[in-house]
Amino acid sequence: VQLVESGGGLVQAGGSLRLSCAASGLTVDDHAIGWFRQAPGKEREGVSCIRRNGPGPVTDYADSVKGRFTISSDNAKNTVYLQMNSLKPEDTAVYYCAADEVLDCGSWLLGTWGSEAGDYWGQGTQVTVSS
C-alpha cells in the first residue's frame, strides 16, 4: 500500500492550493481517507476526512478549516483531494494523508485514538503560507 501526497508549496496568505493523495494497493472508497498536518513544534492534528462506506457523515473538517477547505475523491483515479482556499499563515505545516479501514472520520480527526492512528500514512507535503 502506498499513499503519495503532492501539491504542496509556497503561497501568499489568501491564496489557494490543492493537495492530492494518490493511493495504490487499496481502494479509497473502502477506507476513511484523512488529511492531517503537523507544524514545527506542534502535535499532528486532523484537518479533514472523507469516508463513503462507514458510519457518520461522508466528510468532516476541523473547525479551523471549515468553510475554507474542501475534501473530495476521484474513484477513477483512486485519489483524494484537499482544496485549500483563503490560506492563512497558521495553515503552514507538513500535510499528510492517511487511510484507515475501520475508523470513523469524526473520532479520527479529533485524535481520539492518538496522533498516529491509521493503517497507512503518506510521507507528507510541505505547505507554507507567507503573510
- How does pLDDT run across 77-129, given as a tens digit for each residue? 999 999 999 999 999 999 999 999 988 898 999 888 888 899 999 999 999 99
Residue 104 cell numbers, joined: 470513523
- Pick the residue with more confidence: 100 or 57? 100
Please state, in angstroms and rounded to a whole number, the distance separating the CA atoms of residues 52 and 59. 8
In this predicted structure, what is the pLDDT of residue 116? Answer: 87
What is the average per-residue pLDDT within 30-44? Answer: 95
Q: Is the pLDDT of residue 56 over 70?
A: no
E strand spans, the chain: 2-6, 9-12, 17-24, 32-38, 45-50, 59-61, 69-74, 79-84, 93-100, 120-121, 125-130
The number of beta carbons lying within 10 Å of the beta carbon of residue 87 is 22
Please state, in angstroms and rounded to a whole number, the distance separating the CA atoms of residues 37 and 123. 11
In this predicted structure, what is the pLDDT of residue 70? Answer: 98
What residue type is assigned to position 55 of the chain?
P
In this predicted structure, what is the pLDDT of residue 55? Answer: 66
